Structure 1
Amino acid sequence: MTGTAIDFCHVSFAYANGAAGLRDTTIAFDAGQVIVLCGASGCGKTTMTRLINALAPQYFPGILHGNVTVAGVDTRTTDIATLAEHVGSVFQNPDSQFFTMNVRDELAFACENLAMPPDLIRERVESTARAYALTDLLDRPLADMSGGQRQRVACAAISVARPPIVVLDEPTSNLDATSINALRGIVARWKREGRTVVIAEHRLSWLDGLVDTALILDGGRVVRRFTGQQWRNLSDSERLHLDLRPVTVQQLRSIRVSRHPHTPTHQADGNSSPAYHVNGFRYRYRHTRHDTLDISDMTIPCGAVTTVIGLNGAGKSTFARCLQGLDRRCRGTLIAPDGARLQARQRLDACTTVLQDVNRELFTESVLAEVMLSQPCENERAALDILDSLGLRQLADRHPMSLSGGQKQRVAIAAAIASQRPIIIVDEPTSGLDLRHMREVSSLIRGLAERGRTIVAVTHDPEFALEVSDYVAQLVDGRLADWYPVTTPGGTAKLLDALVPDCDSPLSHAGDQSPSQRDAGQ
């Protein structure tokens, strides 16, 4: 594919529910470019991707003015099924785009929809599986795969039909460093193959060296455009002025903890600072032979933030569920500072959790009602104050499911704060958040800890971890591999080594094959 791949001509779009979209945008992209879309949550990034793949207005209703042309096709007059031959989409949550039960069937699905001959489908599935290192996983149930593996399957599933344009919306928000490296390799592969790749993203450093064009959106408009070289040469001061996360790995690794070390609060009897103690947590999933989680002892200091890190599948989310007492099959207890042994039922009363997939915990008809639902006693003024602290006051009357991913995340955090429980567990709380809102959430979490709340934060986000962590607990294969205060000598470097993708490592080229394999996969 050569020439112009995507063309917006005076495009404006407003959602039927009143949400802002895009305003009078005229811009074109040459084929074969990697384009990154940046900006605050709700700025129009996701809307732009939806206009490229025609989900707006064909799935997300609204009023469209102007013309969007993709691979020479007018999206206004082309149905989504036909446009799928030209555009493949990878969403923030890959589970939302799976239609089958295992990898082989998922790879075949797109080809079957395009009515390809069975022999060609089998050849495409096999060659794509080789290209994306999925051959050994072809018969694996999707439900049994890690988040990084599912993201890789989602990329392969849209690649098998070989669309010339690929759109990704926040693809790294729930991935660990190893999985991000693998995704970087996939994007690099698409670029070598001459595909046009459009990525709406807040976490930017993993794209270091791949970006051809970067756009910053604000209020539904493109306000800045950078070439790849200009983008890579952005100074820290200019980047921060634009409210952007680090755009290179070097910028990311230069971040340091600026606050003072956590000072323990000593008890009246002079003993060591109060803390909760995990005692003998063990958990095994059904039909497995080995414990998924096995933590004999772990300290969670009161009035501090303990960050739990580890690769996808290390047991972080399982630990969070066990800590709150959501699964009675978890053995072990949580010993409170006063010596009380909290079993699962007691832990339910002591903990509240913000889930990784916030769509599972939004129940009401408005943002304000969602926060008030969590309060022990409903107090509208207090609920509005919490919304105001998270920049959500103006959305108080909106339906939670009409918000952007980052806005939903903040609503869920607001509800957790309103619950007034002593332990707050946050599972990937900055998923989908821009720099400003990530820092607002970090500041709020720090403030809660300083006022005596105990925070356990599960995260892959290095910037967030550096902003909030007092202590770090690293899990490997369900075991506690390391525990340390982040402000001790070497603590910051250890945290960054665990969380920052090494874009110069061989993993950054995951998916690369021998020349013969590359030819087979093209």
Structure 2
Amino acid sequence: MNISLKNISFSYSDSLDDAILKNLNLEICSGECVVLAGESGCGKTTISKLINGLIPHYHSGTMDGDVLLGDKNTADMTLAEISRVVGSVFQNPRSQFFNIDTDCELAFGCENLGMNPEEIKQRVENVVQEFHLEHLLGRSIFNLSGGEKQKIACASVSATGPEIFVLDEPSANLDLKTIADLKEIVSRWKKAGKTVVIVEHRLYYLRDVADRICYVKNGQIAYEWTPAELEAKGPEYAASLGLRCMNLGMLSENGDARFHGHDKIVMDVQNCHSRLDRESPSSTESITFTNLTFSYHRKHPILDIDRLELPCGQITALIGHNGAGKSTLAQVLCGLQGCWRQKRAARKRGAYLIMQDVNHQLFTESVLDEVLLGMKPQNEKLALEILEGLNLKQYADNHPMALSGGQKQRVAVASGISSGCEIVVFDEPTSGLDYRQMLAVSATLKKLAASGKTLLVITHDPEFILNSCQSVVRMEHGKVVEQYPLLGNEKQLVKAMVE
């Protein structure tokens, strides 16, 4: 089914800025896979909401122009009518769940469309096989990792069989193996003649799938390329536009070669020093955890760790497939789960967790107050410096919940920096961030580590790891299976993340 956006201008009623979209025009042909790329806050998600009807039927604002699905204007259709044609996967999958268990969630969309029970059963069985979800059946939605929730969201939408798929940052919380599964699903949709629109920062997995990459800037489609055309322009050109790597092969071939010469980009973003070398620091001290176990409700242990070492003053990447226990480990270390050795209060004072879903930890009425909240003693000058380093100073007086997803993420990072805790744990700090902002977060974390803080970063982002981290811890099935310095082991890292 064709999609036409004709002379679209739109501004949200509570917008912090001027119009998000300005006389935008975009034609997407039936069966085409189009990627909407661009820096955070440029309007990519707004375009997706125009296509799935959330604008103008849910989000209030001022809109001019027409959005056509085939020959029908979305303004003349109800959301129920649009949902039969367009299936959406949102950036935060929690926002689209209606059930508490995975089986019911997979069937819900089909049930809502009034399909007969036998057809629903067959469709659910098909998506379970396609998405490799057998191990997630019969599970509570609340006990899934962020990546597992994203897989359930994609599969439940796929089961309804819409003509158009709209995906907003579908890879944000997925490990590389699961991203490969997602690529396979998108390829199947395309082969079936479906129209696919993907808002995405991670471009590498779509280089063999997408027909076009549309770059959004200043409320318009500024550039269009095929994946091959963009890759041919080179990594420096992509980085200058805030775009991520087009080919993971370049990362594993020569370590962090992609980042050589990019310190100027960091300087432009953050006005800070160039990246730290990954050589071992003079101090050999480390924070060691031993015999760390945890289970929910006395069931099979989720964590069973003999020994975990975090080098002091370094950034350690915690990697592993979705569901390996990484987020649970972070919660235990920070006193949010379990009764392990130290009292929870002591652990909370010693370690600060920046959650995967930052909406759970934004509490105040302004961005500045959010950073000051955990700062003792409070220092407004320092708080503003932290915000400036993350390109957030201009939003200091704005409400955190009015920001874009990437901007919220950076507010949470700023709060972690200001907390003063010895250990700062980041759970996917670069999900939803463009390349330029990833470098800004990376540079800020390096400065934090250089000040003596010990950082543990849960991430599926190899670009971030190769640019930022000095050591790696890999978890599988609740156990630490590898710990090693990153310098000289770059190929081992990328291989472990992909397999």
Whether TM exceeds 0.5 here: the answer is yes
**Matched residue, 1:298:** 308
Rate the CA distance shift 1:357–1:296 in 2: closer, same or farther, 3 A.
same
**Matched residue, 2:173:** 174
Matched position secondary structure for 2:76: coil
Q: Distance in 2 between matches of 1:347 and 1:139?
A: 33
Contact in 1 for aligned 2:207/2:228 (Cα 8 Å):
no
Shift of 1:425: 1.0
Matched position secondary structure for 2:120: helix
Shift of 1:496: 1.3
Rate the CA distance shift 1:133–1:422 in 2: closer, same or farther, 3 A.
closer
Matched position secondary structure for 1:463: helix
**Matched residue, 1:498:** 496
CA distances 1:126-165 after superposition (whole Å, capped 9, x unpaired): 4444444446755444334444443332222212221110
Matched position secondary structure for 1:406: helix
**Matched residue, 2:482:** 482
Instruction: Give the alignment partner of residue 279 of structure 1, picking from 290, 302, 305.
Output: 290
Q: Distance in 1 between matches of 2:287 and 2:136?
A: 40
Contact in 1 for aligned 2:35/2:214 (Cα 8 Å):
yes
**Aligned partner letter, 2:167:** L
TM-score, with structure 1 as normaliser: 0.87
Matched position secondary structure for 1:385: helix
Q: Distance in 1 between matches of 2:160 and 2:131?
A: 14
Instruction: Give the alignment partner of residue 260 of structure 1, picking from 277, 299, 314.
Output: 277
Rate the CA distance shift 1:138–1:480 in 2: closer, same or farther, 3 A.
closer
The aligned runs of 1:107-256 (5 Å cut-off) are: 107-134=106-133, 138-254=137-253, 256=255
Q: Distance in 2 between matches of 1:351 and 1:107?
A: 37
Shift of 1:317: 1.0
1:377 aligns with 2:359: no
Shift of 1:358: 0.3
Runs (5+) with no aligned partner, structure 2: 261-275
Q: Which has the larger radius of gyration?
A: 1
Q: Distance in 2 between matches of 1:57 and 1:15?
A: 10
**Matched residue, 1:404:** 404
Q: Distance in 1 between matches of 2:64 and 2:103?
A: 40
Shift of 1:370: 0.8
Shift of 1:293: 1.1
1:83 aligns with 2:93: no
Paired residue total: 479
Shift of 1:182: 1.1
Instruction: Give the alignment partner of residue 317 of structure 2, picking from 303, 307, 313.
Output: 307
Contact in 2 for aligned 1:256/1:492 (Cα 8 Å):
yes
Shift of 1:98: 1.2
Shift of 1:95: 2.2
Q: Distance in 2 between matches of 1:152 and 1:261?
A: 34
Shift of 1:295: 1.7
**Matched residue, 2:387:** 387
1:100 aligns with 2:99: yes
Contact in 2 for aligned 1:147/1:174 (Cα 8 Å):
yes
Q: Distance in 1 between matches of 2:121 and 2:470?
A: 52
Could you tell which deviates more after superposition, 222-231 or 205-214? 222-231
CA distances 1:363-418 after superposition (whole Å, capped 9, x unpaired): 01111111111211222222111111110011112111111111001000111111
**Aligned partner letter, 1:316:** K
**Matched residue, 2:444:** 444
**Matched residue, 1:29:** 28
CA distances 1:266-322 after superposition (whole Å, capped 9, x unpaired): 4xxxxxx32211122111121523x21122222212111111111111111111112
**Aligned partner letter, 1:492:** E
**Matched residue, 2:12:** 15
Contact in 2 for aligned 1:307/1:458 (Cα 8 Å):
yes
Rate the CA distance shift 1:277–1:117 in 2: closer, same or farther, 3 A.
closer
Instruction: Give the alignment partner of residue 336 of structure 2, picking from 303, 309, 326.
Output: 326
Matched position secondary structure for 1:352: strand
Instruction: Give the alignment partner of residue 299 of structure 2, picking from 285, 288, 302.
Output: 288
**Matched residue, 2:418:** 418
The alignment yields a C-alpha RMSD, in angstroms, of 2.0
Matched position secondary structure for 2:103: helix
**Aligned partner letter, 1:496:** V
Matched position secondary structure for 2:316: strand
Rate the CA distance shift 1:255–1:408 in 2: closer, same or farther, 3 A.
farther
Q: Distance in 1 between matches of 2:357 and 2:154?
A: 20
Q: Distance in 2 between matches of 1:135 and 1:441?
A: 36
Rate the CA distance shift 1:324–1:128 in 2: closer, same or farther, 3 A.
closer
Q: Distance in 1 between matches of 2:170 and 2:184?
A: 13
Q: Distance in 2 between matches of 1:349 and 1:146?
A: 25
Shift of 1:253: 3.2
**Aligned partner letter, 1:386:** I
Q: Distance in 2 between matches of 1:449 and 1:103?
A: 40
Shift of 1:215: 0.6
Q: Distance in 1 between matches of 2:474 and 2:135?
A: 29
Matched position secondary structure for 1:14: strand
Matched position secondary structure for 2:98: coil
Q: Tell me the percent identity.
A: 41
Rate the CA distance shift 1:344–1:100 in 2: closer, same or farther, 3 A.
closer
Contact in 2 for aligned 1:39/1:218 (Cα 8 Å):
yes
Rate the CA distance shift 1:150–1:418 in 2: closer, same or farther, 3 A.
closer
**Aligned partner letter, 1:295:** I
Could you tell which deviates more after superposition, 233-242 or 366-375? 233-242
Q: Structure 1 segments of 4 or more deviating over 6 A?
A: none
**Matched residue, 1:336:** none
Runs (5+) with no aligned partner, structure 1: 267-272, 333-341, 503-522
Rate the CA distance shift 1:493–1:239 in 2: closer, same or farther, 3 A.
same
**Matched residue, 2:272:** none
Matched position secondary structure for 1:245: coil
Matched position secondary structure for 1:76: helix
Rate the CA distance shift 1:274–1:127 in 2: closer, same or farther, 3 A.
closer
Contact in 1 for aligned 2:372/2:418 (Cα 8 Å):
yes
Shift of 1:101: 2.7
Rate the CA distance shift 1:84–1:372 in 2: closer, same or farther, 3 A.
same
Rate the CA distance shift 1:458–1:126 in 2: closer, same or farther, 3 A.
closer
Shift of 1:254: 4.2
Contact in 2 for aligned 1:282/1:295 (Cα 8 Å):
yes
Q: Distance in 1 between matches of 2:146 and 2:379?
A: 38
Q: Distance in 2 between matches of 1:181 and 1:348?
A: 37
Matched position secondary structure for 1:466: helix
